[in-house]
A and B are shown apart, each in its own frame.
Chain A
Amino acid sequence: MPHDANARANAGLNVAVLVSVGRHPLTAGTRRADQDARAVEMALTLENAAISLLHAGPADPERQQALRGYLGMGLDTLDLLEQSADADVISVLEEEVRHRAPQLILTGSRAEAGEASGALPFLLAEALGWPIVTSLAAVEKVENGTAVMLQALPRGKRRRLRVRLPALATVDASAPPARQSAFGPARRGKFEHQTRPSEVDEPLSGWQFQEARKRPKRLKIVKASSARDRFKAAAAKAEGGGGQTLADVTPEQGAEAIFKLLKEEGVLR
C-alpha cells in the first residue's frame, strides 16, 4: 500500500512525466505513445510519488483525446502547455520544469510522430544541467536525494546506477509495459490548460516530412534438416562482428579509439 508510514517518510518525491501524442504504426491514428505510457507506468509504481503529467504542443481535440489515454491510467490532471505546431518546445519545457522543480523527470526515448529524433531528453537535460539516464528499466530505491536505478543494456543485461537527483531518465521498450487505460478515468480527467508563447523552430520550417517506411528485410534462409537445427538457428544470438572493450584507459586513449572507429566506419572522413 502506498500510504504506509515508511512511504510517508520519503514523501514528496516529485516526479514529472513528459508525455507526447503517439501515432499508431499501422493506422497512423493518434494514441498514447507506447514509451511515454511506460514512463507513466514507472512513475505510478514509484512509492508515494507526486506525479504530474506534462505535455507541450498543439492542443486540438484529436490530440487531447489521445492524451486522455494517459489520464485513463489513473491520474486526475494533465498539464497542457499549448504551443503552435511549428514550435520548439525545449525552452517552454525548461521553464516549466524550473518552475515546478521535480526531482525526477521521466519520458520516452523518442516520440512516435513529428521529428522523433529522440534528441529532446538530451537537449532538455543539457538546458537544465541535469544528468540523463537512458533506457531506464527500473527505479529500485530513492533515498536522501539519490536514486538507485537499473539501466537496460542490450541482450537483457542490466546496469545498476546511483544517480543524484534531480535527474532526467528515458524509458524504452525494456521498461515494464504500461497498464490499461480505462475509459471512465480518461474521460473524467482534467487538462490544466495554459497557452504559452511559442518559440518557432526555424530549421524545422525548411524541412520536408515524409512517412518512414520499413525497409524490406532480407529473408533469413535457414538450411536446417532437423528441428534441433532450426531451433538453434532461431535462438542464435546475432553475431557481433569485431569490436573491443576498453577498460582503464585514459580519456585521450578512449577518444583516439572512438575517432579511429568512426573513420573506419566512414562516419568521419
Chain B
Amino acid sequence: MLDTLLPVLLFTALALAALGAVRRVRLWRQGRSSSVPVLKGLLRVPRRYLVDLHHVVERDKYISHTHVATAGGFVLAALLAIVVHGFGLQSAMLGWVLLAATTSMFIGSLLVAKRRRPPPSRLSKGPWMRLPKSLMAFSIGMFVVTLPTAGILPEGVFQQGLGWIAALVLAAIIVWGLGEMFFGMTWGGPMKHAFAGALHLAWHRRPERFSDKTGGEHRSTGLKALRLDEPDAKLGVETPADFTWNQLLGFDACVQCGRCEAMCPAFAAGQPLNPKKLIQDMVVGMAGGSDARYYGSPYPGKPVGEHAGSPFGPIVAREGTSLVDAETLWSCTTCRACVEECPMMIEHVDAIVDMRRFLTLEHGNTPNKGAEVLDNLIATDNPGGFDPGSRLHWAADLNLPLMADKKEADVLLWLGDGVFDMRNQRTLRAFISVMRAAGVDFAVLGNEERDSGDVARRLGDEATFQTLARRNIKTLAQYRFSRIVTCDPHSFHVLKNEYGELGTSETPATYHVQHHSTYISELVSANKLSFKAWKGGSVTYHDPCYLGRYNGEYEAPRDVLKALGIEIKEMARSGYRSRCCGGGGGAPITDIPGKQRIPDMRMEDVRDTGADLVAVGCPQCTAMLEGVVEPRAEIKDIAELVADALVIDAPVGKADSTRAAPALALEETS
C-alpha cells in the first residue's frame, strides 16, 4: 500500500507546494518594479546562504548547529525521498543516506524543541510551537518508511498483519510532515521562511551586502535615493504595494526569531516599536487581513488584533488606525541593530524610512519638533535655525584656515552642525589642537558648509536632503583635498555612503572620508603624536551606530585609546552589538514616549562595567549620554582624551607649535 501511497502523497504535496508558490509570487509581484539579475541571483544563493547568512546565524552557536542539522538533513532527505519513494528507485545505498539525513534532521528537531521549552519571549508562539513536532513527524516518518529500502527491515513488512496498521499510522505521520514541510512552505506556514528566504537571498535589494571570493568589505548601509524628477509620482511608501517587489519578498522571508526585537533599543525602552512585528505587519498588509494571528511580542503598549490592512490600503491612516501607527515608525533610531542581527538579511531601516518619506513628503506629518527642524534646515541649513553666517563664531579665536582662501589642503575638516552646540565645540577645539600638534595641513569650509542632510533624510524629507547634499557637493567640487575628516559619524556616513549617488559627471561625489578617530589612529601610527601617560580611572568605549554598524569602524577608536595607555573595559553590548544612545534617526526630535529613556539604559550598561569614564566619538552620543542624570560616568570624546594627553615638544617644527599654542592654552583653561 505504502509503495503506491507514498509517491501519490509526495507528488500531491509537491504540486500543492508549486501552486502555493505561484500564489505567493503573485503576492510579491503586487509591489513596485525593481530590476534584478534573475539567474545570476539564483546561482549566488548557495554562497550567500552558506557564507553570509551562516556568518550571522553562527553568532548563536546553539541555533547554528541546530539549523545545520535540521535544514541540512531536511534538504537531503526531501531530495532523496523524491528519488527513492517518489520515483521508486530502490537503492539500498541511497536508503542508508536517507536514513542518515532523517536522523540528522531528527536530532536537529529535538534541539529545536528543547529551545522552545519554555520559549524565550523573543520567539513567536502559535504555529511555531508546532514546528518541532512537524519536523519530528517528517523525519521519523521518512526514517521508518526507508528502513525496508536500506534492508534493515524485510521488504513488504508493511503489507501484512500488524504492518498494515503500522503503515496507516506511518502514512498519517508522513501526511503531517509533508503538510508542514512542503505544503506549508508556500502556503504561509512557518517553513515559508525557507522558500521566501532563498529567493530573498537571490534577489536582495542590496546585493553589495554579500561577500564574494575576492574578500574585502561588504557593507551596504547608505539609504537609496528617492527619485524626485517625476512631479506626479507618489513619494515614499503609502501602501504595502508601494514597496518594491523584492522588499515584499524580503518581509516574507522573516523567520520570526526575534533577534531584532532582542536588540532594538526602542523596544527595550518601551516605545511602540518591535522590528519583528513591523515586518510581520508588512506581510499581513501584503496578503490583506488583521494582525490577530501574530503570536510574538506586540508593540509595547499596543495590543495585537486591533490593526488591519490590505495591499492597496494605507499603512498609516490619517485618522484612526490601519496597519501600523505612525508613532511606531517614528520610534526607530535607525541604529541598524535589527538589520545587523537579522539572519534573513531583511532591511528594516530601509522600510521604515520609505514609510517615513510618505508621511513627511505627502502627509506633512512629521511629529513633535520634526516640522520645525525641517523648516529650519530648509531656511537656515541647520536644524537649530541658527544664523548660517555664524557657523564659525565659536572659533573666532582659533584662526581656522578657510578653504575659500586656501583652495586646497590635505584634510578638509567637516565641522558639522555641532558648531552651534557648546558641548560639541569643546570636542572640535580638542580635535583641532590635535591636528595642529601633528602639523596637519587642513582647512574648513566655514560658512560655506551646510547640514549634511542626515537628519532631514532620516525624518523622511528626501527633498531637503537632496537639496542640501547637492549644494554641499557643489561647494566641495570647488576645492582640492585628499580627504574629508569629521568628528560626526552621521556626517561621515552621509558624505561617504550617500552623496555618491547624487554626484554628476562634472561634480562626482565620491570622497575619501574618515572619522576623526580613524584619522587620529593614523597620526598615532605615523608617530606624529606623543602622549603623557594615562592617569585617569577606568574607561569604557561606546560605539556610535553610524561609525560601527554603518561603517564597520570598531578598531580605530580602540587603537587610539590603547595608544593613550587606556585599557578598555568593554561593555557587554559593544562592537557590532553596541546599544544605540537614542540619538539617531531624528528620534530625539520626534520624541516618541516610552517607559524609559534609551540613553539611561546605555548608561546602565556603562555602570555595569564600573568604568569612571565613557569615551565616545559622536556629538549625538555625547549629548544623549550627558543628558543622563548624575551620578554617572564622565563622558568624553576621543578627541578630548587625546588632546588632554598631548605632549608638545618644541623641536618638532617651530611653525606648527607656535600656531598650536593659543588653541591649546584655551583648551586648558576651558
Contact = CB atoms under 8 A, between A and B. Distances in A.
Interface of A: 1, 24, 26-27, 29, 31, 72-74, 179-185, 187-188
Given A180-B371, A187-B231, A26 B387 contact: yes
Interface in B364-378: 364-366, 370-371, 374-375, 378
Given A26-B385, A27-B388, A74-B364, A183 B235 contact: yes
B380 A180 contact: no
Interface stretch (B59-67, B340-348, B355-363): B355-363
A31 B376 CA distance: 11
A185 B650 CA distance: 62
Interface string B458-472: 000101100000000
A264 to B, nearest CB: 40
Contact of A26 (B231, B235, B364, B380): B380
B232 interface: yes
A54 B374 CA distance: 26
Interface of B: 231-232, 234-235, 319, 360-366, 370-371, 374-375, 378-380, 385-388, 461, 463-464
Contacts of A183: 235, 360-361, 461, 463-464
Contacts of A187: 231
Contacts of A181: 364
A100 B423 CA distance: 56
22 contacts: A24-B379, A24-B380, A26-B387, A26-B388, A27-B380, A27-B387, A29-B379, A72-B364, A73-B364, A180-B360, A180-B365, A180-B371, A182-B362, A182-B365, A183-B235, A183-B360, A183-B361, A184-B235, A184-B361, A184-B362, A187-B231, A188-B231
B379 A26 contact: yes
A182 B361 contact: yes
A182 B364 contact: yes
Given A180-B360, A184-B235, 14 more contacts: A26-B385, A26-B388, A31-B378, A31-B379, A72-B364, A73-B364, A74-B364, A180-B375, A182-B364, A183-B361, A183-B461, A184-B234, A185-B364, A187-B231
Nearest to B385: A26
A183 B385 CA distance: 19
Contacts of B387: 26-27
B380 A182 contact: no
Nearest to A181: B364
A162 B374 CA distance: 38
A204 B360 CA distance: 41
Contacts of A184: 234-235, 361-362
A263 to B, nearest CB: 43
Contacts of B235: 183-184
Contact of B232 (A27, A74, A182, A188): A188
Nearest to B365: A180
A26 B379 CA distance: 9
Top 8 closest A-B pairs, CB basis? A182-B364, A180-B371, A180-B364, A184-B362, A183-B463, A183-B361, A24-B379, A184-B361
Nearest to A187: B231
A9 B319 CA distance: 23
Contacts of A179: 364, 371
Contacts of B380: 24, 26-27
Contacts of A29: 379
Contacts of A72: 364
A73 B362 CA distance: 10
B379 A27 contact: yes
B560 to A, nearest CB: 38
Contacts of B232: 188
A35 to B, nearest CB: 15
B227 to A, nearest CB: 13
A81 to B, nearest CB: 24
B236 to A, nearest CB: 8
A185 B231 CA distance: 10
Nearest to B234: A184
**Which of the listed residues A74, A184, A185 has the most CB atoms from chain B within 10 Å of its own CB?**
A184
A184 B238 CA distance: 13
B502 to A, nearest CB: 17
Given A26-B388, A188-B231, A180 B379 contact: no
A184 B364 CA distance: 9
Contacts of B371: 179-180
Contacts of A73: 364
A182 B379 contact: no
**Which of the listed residues B363, B364, B365, B366 has the most CB atoms from chain A within 10 Å of its own CB?**
B364
B383 to A, nearest CB: 14
B362 A185 contact: yes
Contacts of B374: 180
Contacts of B461: 183
Nearest to B360: A182
A182 B363 CA distance: 6
A10 B234 CA distance: 34
Contacts of B375: 180
A181 B360 CA distance: 9
Contacts of B362: 182, 184-185
A237 to B, nearest CB: 28
Contacts of A31: 378-379
A169 B387 CA distance: 33
A11 to B, nearest CB: 21
Contacts of A74: 364
A162 B150 CA distance: 97
B406 to A, nearest CB: 26
A22 to B, nearest CB: 10
A29 B232 CA distance: 27
Nearest to A22: B379
A187 B371 CA distance: 17
A257 B137 CA distance: 100
Contacts of A24: 379-380
A77 to B, nearest CB: 15
B228 to A, nearest CB: 8
B664 to A, nearest CB: 33
A184 B361 CA distance: 5
B366 A180 contact: yes
Nearest to B358: A184
A72 B378 CA distance: 14
Nearest to A186: B364
Contacts of B365: 180, 182
**Which of the listed residues B231, B361, B461 has the most CB atoms from chain A within 10 Å of its own CB?**
B361
Contacts of A180: 360, 364-366, 370-371, 374-375
Nearest to B363: A182
A133 B362 CA distance: 34
A72 B379 CA distance: 16
Contacts of B231: 187-188
A24 to B, nearest CB: 5
A24 B378 CA distance: 11
A184 B226 CA distance: 12
Nearest to A178: B371
**Which of the listed residues A24, A74, A180 has the most CB atoms from chain B within 10 Å of its own CB?**
A180
Contacts of A1: 319
Nearest to B381: A27
Contacts of A27: 379-380, 387-388
A73 B385 CA distance: 21
A127 to B, nearest CB: 34
Contacts of B363: 182
A141 to B, nearest CB: 22
A27 B388 CA distance: 7
B519 to A, nearest CB: 33
B188 to A, nearest CB: 35
A27 B390 CA distance: 11
B597 to A, nearest CB: 26
B259 to A, nearest CB: 36
A31 B378 CA distance: 9
B329 to A, nearest CB: 16
A184 B237 CA distance: 13
A36 to B, nearest CB: 15
A38 to B, nearest CB: 14
